Amino acid sequence: MSANVFVKQNTLITSLIYCAISLLLFQSLGYVFCVSIILVTIFKLSTSLGAVKHPSKLVVNLLAVTVIVVVFLSLGLKNTIEMFVAMLLGACALKMLQVTTTKQAASTYILNFFTYPCFYLFSQNILAFTFVAALLLFNLAQLFSISHSLPIKQAYKGSVKKFVFSLPLAIAMVLLVPKLPPFWQLPNAKSANSGLSEDVDPFEISELSRSSELAFRALLPAADMFQPPFYWRAIVHDRFDGKKWQKSRLQGVGLQRTYQPMGPVYSVIAEPSSTRWLYTLGDGIPASKGMGVNNFGTIYQKKLSNKPIQYEVSPVDIDDARLTRWEYAMNTQLPEGYNPRAVALALEWDQQTSNTQEFITKMKSFFVTSEFNYSLTPPAILEKHNVDEFLFSTQTGFCGHFASSAAFLMRTAGIPTRLVSGYLGGEFNQQSKYYAVYQYDAHAWVEYYVPQLGWLRLDPTSWVAPDRMFGSLSDLAQLQQEFQDNLGISLASFSNIQAINWLRLQLEQLDFHWTQWVLNFDDKKQSSLLKALFGNKSNYLPALSVVLLLVTAFGAWFAYLNFRNWNKQPKEIRLYNRLLDFGKVQSVGLTPKQSFELLKQKLPDVQEELAEFYDLFESARYQNVALSPAQYKRLYYLNRQIIKKAKIK
Amino acid sequence: MNQVSQNIISKLSKLILGKDEQLKLALCCLLSKGHLLIEDLPGMGKTTLSHGLANVLGLSYQRVQFTSDLLPADITGSSIFNTQTHSFDFHSGPIFSQVLLADEINRASPKTQSALLEAMEEGQVTVDGTTHALPQPFFVIATQNPLHQSGTHPLPESQLDRFFIRISLGYPDTEAEKSLIVSGNDRAIKSEDLSLALTTEELSKLQNQVMTVELSEPVIQYIIDLVSFTRDSGEFADPLSPRASIALGLASRAYALISGREYVLPDDVQAVFGPVAGHRLNVPCNEQLPVVESIFNRVPVPM
């Protein structure tokens, strides 16, 4: 009777938790599913308030079918992971509607140890971790509460105690058990929708969407070659169709030659992004697994990850001094009939100059003298001749406008040119010595080819806004106001208030350590940790032996505790308990006499033996008569006899 | 010894049909030298039971019908001026008997109730400065109507505590009622041949035997667990006192004795727990069973 009260209370709370999880995963699971979960929760709420009758099995089954259909229709088979999580959450929420007994509830709570961590499929930052950890702890408490009929508060205390008690072992296991590659892998859930786009069309955008989300962090070793400005290359756009800058098929060609690194390896921790392209300072080749590098020295993930990944890059200088005829054609290709004024201007400059450098000087003086404006919110240009429009009438734009028009002019003059998008700058964290690069640091510039020298970088934006080259965009005093208007409400938008800025930097740093040491704790980091702990042997033996020792010590201790309890009991009680276990009699609240009556009903074939056993038991326990060895023998014999006979039946 | 109590029960069960369990408990109360409270609706056989008990045990018996205008002196007796000797003579009241049936005790005023209950506890009565000892053994069998009946004064908790056991007879089953109807109201005749003519010595021997019943460690633990459950669970406004623990121990011993055993089983404790603890926990008679069940369900039986 009382146990049911706890089941009722706990299942209601758990339904609300399911609802909260679904709402938090709203973007991934879709609003149709979220609405259905909310409806189920409301149903549960009204049954527990007594407003609605407890649903019958048929109703719950019908609801289950409905949820399955909803999940299929709204998510489809394409989003396998989302569908899987939605089904799991839906099934659990529906189970909560139906649960009446302690046993049913307990099985759902055990499943929850799997259900809650599914949240990690979508987010793995420190906030998500705290949330899920709290849920798991609470789940443990709820499991205690229903299985031991305890008030939830009392159960929570107990579960926290047990959690703290088992924490050292858990930490030791994580740190010391060898990291093995997974045996099987799920397809990743789509989590990020921010990041660079593979197609660049600056002119149609009137407002650059600026997000203060982190793009990546970089740990640069102290070396002369790592000096600002930091141009982080990500995507190379070498095809132009008159409107958009796109990737050519050349991008898929892997790097053919091996190169000697030019300097020390640096490491980058990239946040999940919507594209596979990763970030390098100049050309680079990856020193980590799971990455590829193409002919342009840009690196990419072989499999799109939904968690932050850490990778190492060796800086190299890709030998591109020679361009094939085909590549030359590719990088000077322009569609016919676009921007006649720009074409005329470029051809005029080409006539007046003899080499590429002079052409660029000419172009620079044009941009500087015409007083172009750098703005994050330029007017949109929708005409066909967009470069003309920008160069001769609006003259206001951001990096994409400058880079794209410069590339157009240079291609017209026959200089092989391509557009590069990536990030510029980074915020340096003094305490932990890393650079944080945000989405609002996204940038675009130009690379042009000079025979014998290869590809060189040119940033036309720097002619107009030279400050942009150093530091992060957030540091630009001139654009402060505009920048902040664009950001929307986030901690970064209040960065001019000292306290908030301090808080933001602390949180940012915490997140950095979290990402570096917890999320990216891989076999490499483990082995270096083991090296530091156990010297240079660098094998898993010492680590494993520590873990084994811990496990055996814990196990032995628990075994000893159990044995002590067991051994303290007189023999007749042990035998009695064995019989009750055998007969599956729940003995709470029953006197031995009543338990035996139950046993006799369950095992009608051994009634006589049971009666004799009980008589001996009774006189030993309640009459304070010590049993003689012969009587003990008889007790054992009866016990065996009862079990044997009952089993035969 | 089992034989004697078995005899008593079988004699009484001719009088009160189909209520062996209650008879056992009533006898158990008397063997523990405790006072008995019978709570029931009118006409359920309360008076018959108390009358029968006195007769069977061969004890002197007085009956007082409690009413709202009953005064303490009506029970204890009073000093009356003797014109012959020119002094006050004490005329003892109905309380000077071995079994006092206080019928419908909750109809009397609290003052009168107190006078009776004082005598119950002390075993003596003081009138006009003179203390008069009450005869031994001294039992009070009080009956009371359920409190919702009009014109009743509920007994205060402290006085309820002085009753060792509270029982309720309840309606008879169909068979018993049938034979009641057939035999009609010939209670008086039956009472005559009930008598076992138990001497006072025999009774006190029986009472002393209660204390020799073996109370093993696990059973004591069970009593303690049950009592502390009423204190710790927070479900009861008036948890059980140590006096209740003593009563539980005594009553289970007496119950075991009546059942013909020389040692107490947890089953004995369960049998007497409701009647001993019910009125002390302020649980109405009709709710006693589910409350007691729920306590049993939650307190494991130690072994």
Q: A289: which 2 tokens?
A: 């697994």
End-to-end CA distance of chain A: 34
Query: How far is CA B121 from its chain centroid?
Result: 13
pLDDT in tens, B219-241: 999 999 999 988 888 788 888 88
Give the Cα separation of B249 and B259 in Å (integer): 15
**Which residue in A576, A588, A593 is closest to B300 by CB distance?**
A588
CA distance B169 to chain A (A): 25
DSSP β-bridge partners for residue A458: A446
**Which residue in B216, B267, B294 is closest to A621 by CB distance?**
B216
Q: Are A147 and A105 in contact (CB under 8 A)?
A: no
**Chain A residues with beta carbon closer than 8 angstroms to that of B300:** 587-589
Q: Tell whether the model's pLDDT for residue A264 goes beyond 50.
A: yes
Q: Tell whether the model's pLDDT for residue B254 goes beyond 60.
A: yes
**Which residue in A2, A149, A624 is closest to B214 by CB distance?**
A624
Indicate the domain borders of chain B: 35-163, 197-302
ipTM for the predicted complex comes to 0.80
Q: A234: which 2 tokens?
A: 């990500």
**Chain A residues with beta carbon closer than 8 angstroms to that of B263:** 619, 622-624
Q: What is the CATH number of domain B35-163?
A: 3.40.50.300
**Chain A residues with beta carbon closer than 8 angstroms to that of B266:** 591-593, 622
Q: Are B265 and A594 in contact (CB under 8 A)?
A: no
Give the Cα separation of A445 and A399 in Å (integer): 7
pLDDT in tens, A490-513: 566 666 677 887 887 788 888 888
Give the Cα separation of A596 and A613 in Å (integer): 9
DSSP, collapsed to helix, strand or coil, labels residue A442 as strand
Q: Which DSSP letter does residue A538 get?
A: -
Q: Are B137 and B200 in contact (CB under 8 A)?
A: yes
* Percent of chain B at pLDDT exceeding 70: 94
Q: Are A298 and A277 in contact (CB under 8 A)?
A: yes
Q: How far is CA B218 from CA A593, B224, B273, in A?
A: 14, 10, 16
DSSP β-bridge partners for residue B272: none
Give the Cα separation of A116 and A125 in Å (integer): 15
DSSP, collapsed to helix, strand or coil, labels residue A63 as helix
Give the Cα separation of A238 and A411 in Å (integer): 11
- Report the residue of chain A nearest B219, measured CA to CA: A622
Give the Cα separation of A82 and A72 in Å (integer): 10
Give the Cα separation of A176 and A547 in Å (integer): 7
At A444 the pLDDT is: 87
Read off φ and ψ for residue A307, nearest 5 degrees.
-125, 160
R_g of chain B computed on alpha carbons: 20
Q: Tell whether the model's pLDDT for residue A332 goes beyond 60.
A: yes
**Chain B residues with beta carbon closer than 8 angstroms to that of A149:** 298
End-to-end CA distance of chain B: 28
Q: Tell whether the model's pLDDT for residue A321 goes beyond 60.
A: yes
**Chain A residues with beta carbon closer than 8 angstroms to that of B219:** 622
Q: B146: which 2 tokens?
A: 């359920």
Give the Cα separation of A549 and A5 in Å (integer): 43
Q: Are strands B139-144 and B99-103 parallel, antiparallel or unpaired?
A: parallel
At A473 the pLDDT is: 56
At B199 the pLDDT is: 75
Give the Cα separation of B93 and B72 in Å (integer): 10
Q: Are A520 and A308 in contact (CB under 8 A)?
A: yes
Q: What average pLDDT does this structure show over A208-234?
A: 79
The answer to whether the CB atoms of B301 and A587 lie below 8 A apart is: yes
Q: Which DSSP letter does residue B38 get?
A: E
Q: Are A205 and A244 in contact (CB under 8 A)?
A: no
Q: Tell whether the model's pLDDT for residue B1 goes beyond 50.
A: no
Task: Report CA dihedral (A64, A68, A70, A76) to the nearest 10 degrees.
Answer: 170
Q: How far is CA A634 from CA A570, A572, A581, in A?
A: 15, 11, 20
In the CATH hierarchy, which top-level class contains the domain B197-302? Answer: mainly alpha
**Chain B residues with beta carbon closer than 8 angstroms to that of A565:** none
The answer to whether the CB atoms of A624 and B296 lie below 8 A apart is: no
Give the Cα separation of B147 and B37 in Å (integer): 14
Q: What average pLDDT does this structure show over B9-20?
A: 80
The answer to whether the CB atoms of A622 and B264 lie below 8 A apart is: yes
Q: Tell whether the model's pLDDT for residue A184 goes beyond 50.
A: yes
Buried b (16+ CB within 10 A) or exposed e, A8-33: bbbbbebbebbbebbebbeebbbeeb
**Chain B residues with beta carbon closer than 8 angstroms to that of A573:** 303
DSSP β-bridge partners for residue B139: B99
**Chain B residues with beta carbon closer than 8 angstroms to that of A592:** 266, 301, 303
Indicate the pLDDT class of residue B197, thresholds 50, 70 and 90: low
- Report the residue of chain A nearest B292, measured CA to CA: A589
Q: Tell whether the model's pLDDT for residue A186 goes beyond 70.
A: no
Q: A317: which 2 tokens?
A: 């200088």
Mutation choice for B interface testing from A622, A623, A625, A627 by most B CBs within 10 A: A622
Residues in chain A: 649
Q: What average pLDDT does this structure show over B170-197?
A: 71
Indicate the pLDDT class of residue A2, thresholds 50, 70 and 90: very low
Interface of B with A (CB under 8 A): 214, 216, 218-219, 262-267, 270, 294, 296-301, 303
**Chain B residues with beta carbon closer than 8 angstroms to that of A1:** 294, 297
Helix axes A571-583, A592-602, angle to 10 degrees: 40
Better-scored residue on pLDDT, B149 or A94: A94
Helix axes A607-622, A592-602, angle to 10 degrees: 170
pLDDT in tens, A442-454: 888 999 988 888 8
Q: What average pLDDT does this structure show over A223-238?
A: 83
Indicate the pLDDT class of residue A1, thresholds 50, 70 and 90: very low
Q: Average per-residue pLDDT in chain A?
A: 82
Sorted by sequence, the CB contacts under 8 Å of residue A309 that are 6+ apart come out as: A269, A270, A290, A301, A520
**Which residue in A593, A619, A622 is closest to B219 by CB distance?**
A622
The answer to whether the CB atoms of B218 and A594 lie below 8 A apart is: no
The answer to whether the CB atoms of A622 and B299 lie below 8 A apart is: no
Sorted by sequence, the CB contacts under 8 Å of residue A272 that are 6+ apart come out as: A191, A192, A305, A306, A307, A308
Residue type at position A156: Y
pTM: 0.52
Indicate the pLDDT class of residue A187, thresholds 50, 70 and 90: low
A90-99, A486-495, A556-565, B12-21, range with the lowest pLDDT:
A486-495
Nearest to A28 by CA among A97, A109, A86: A86
The answer to whether the CB atoms of A623 and B214 lie below 8 A apart is: yes
- Report the residue of chain B nearest A2, measured CA to CA: B294
Q: Where are the beta strands (DSSP E) in chain B?
A: 35-39, 61-65, 77-82, 87-92, 99-103, 124-127, 130-133, 139-144, 163-167
A251-255, A594-598, B266-270, range with the lowest pLDDT:
A251-255
Nearest to A26 by CA among A106, A86, A76: A86
Helices (H), A353-497: 356-369, 386-389, 399-412, 461-464, 480-487
Q: What average pLDDT does this structure show over A154-182?
A: 82
Q: Average per-residue pLDDT in chain B?
A: 83
Residue type at position B294: S
Give the Cα separation of A588 and A450 in Å (integer): 89
Q: What average pLDDT does this structure show over A531-536?
A: 71
Give the number of A-B residue pairs with CB atoms closer than 8 Å.
52
Q: Are A298 and A250 in contact (CB under 8 A)?
A: no
Task: Report CA dihedral (A224, A226, A231, A237) to the nearest 10 degrees.
Answer: 90
- Report the residue of chain B nearest A594, measured CA to CA: B267
Better-scored residue on pLDDT, A412 or A375: A412
The answer to whether the CB atoms of A592 and B303 lie below 8 A apart is: yes
Read off φ and ψ for residue B299, nearest 5 degrees.
-100, 110
Q: What average pLDDT does this structure show over A611-635?
A: 84
The answer to whether the CB atoms of B303 and A576 lie below 8 A apart is: yes
At A210 the pLDDT is: 63
Q: Where are the beta strands (DSSP E) in A263-327?
A: 266-270, 280-281, 284-286, 291-293, 299-301, 309-315
A168-177, A473-482, B53-62, B93-102, range with the lowest pLDDT:
A473-482
Nearest to A520 by CA among A268, A147, A243: A268
Nearest to A140 by CA among A115, A113, A119: A113
Q: Answer yes or no: same fold for B35-163 and B197-302.
A: no
**Which residue in B297, B300, B303 is closest to A621 by CB distance?**
B303
* Percent of chain A at pLDDT exceeding 70: 90
pLDDT in tens, A385-412: 888 888 888 888 888 888 888 999 999 9
At A27 the pLDDT is: 83
Nearest to A214 by CA among A26, A402, A429, A23: A429
Read off φ and ψ for residue A581, nearest 5 degrees.
-60, -45
Q: Are A158 and A140 in contact (CB under 8 A)?
A: no
Residues in chain B: 303
Give the Cα separation of A519 and A510 in Å (integer): 13
Residue type at position A4: N
Nearest to B43 by CA among B155, B137, B170, B175: B170
